[in-house]
Amino acid sequence: MKEILELNLNTVKREIQESAHLANRDPDQITLLAVSKTVSSKNIETMAELGHINFAENYVQEGVEKIQSLSAIKASKGLIWHFIGPIQSNKTRMIAEYFDWVQTIDRLKIAQRLSDQRPRDLQPLQFCIQVNIDGGETKSGVRPDEALSLAKEVIKLPHMVLRGLMTIPDPVNSIEQQKSIHGQAKDLFENIKKELQSPDFDTLSMGMSADLKAAIEMGSTMVRVGTALFGSRNTA
């Protein structure tokens, strides 16, 4: 299994590098986030042994169990755990206590709870505001025209650091459509960055396997990839 995971990791890294070069960007400016929902702790550990450190979970309980079981690996390899799923109020304490990043903030109330519940002996919780960039009816996220006002509120919270924006647009048919949507997110990111004047606001988390190239061309600094790394979910 290690050989398969290594091949997958190298393939995705190569795709990121090629996409970055085509866009005249530095590949080192783009972080690969391995989406590890339903993936076994053993496979995550193998990926860590291959040098990968950024992992993302969609479900709080599953993620916390993995973080606990891999605590020694986190300490030795410097693993960074991101939460990228919807946030329920009754799960904020677990997120605040175990994760390093949370990318799906779209309400001030949730951000306030995370800030209040972040253990003081841990580094501040890094977070992104999730924006429903294309207005998808079933998507979470703040509306684009409300993102700046939310950013101005949450950036004041202690024990947390606002790092940027995250988007999950609905799939579209053409790369030109993908680029158009991601371009809107990039413009919004730049506008908010200019308004906030915060050196910490440096992350635009957008793009997955199907739209990775378009996302990188339009300025993504963090891409989220799952199946291309770990295989189909029912075999992970």
Report the CATH number at residue 21: 3.20.20.10
**Owner of token pair 């199907």:** 210
Which residue has 């995971």 as its token pair? 5
Q: Which domain holds residue 28?
A: 2-235
Number of domains in the chain: 1
> What is the Cα–Cα distance from 207 to 177, expressed in whole angstroms?
13
pTM: 0.95
C-alpha–C-alpha distance, residues 222 and 218, integer Å: 12
pLDDT in tens, the chain (236 residues): 899 999 999 999 999 999 999 999 999 999 999 999 999 999 999 999 999 999 999 999 999 999 999 999 999 999 999 999 999 999 999 999 999 999 999 999 999 999 999 999 999 999 999 999 998 777 789 999 999 999 999 999 999 999 999 999 999 989 999 999 999 999 999 999 999 999 999 999 999 999 999 999 999 999 999 999 998 865 43
Residue 202 phi, psi (nearest 5):
-135, 5
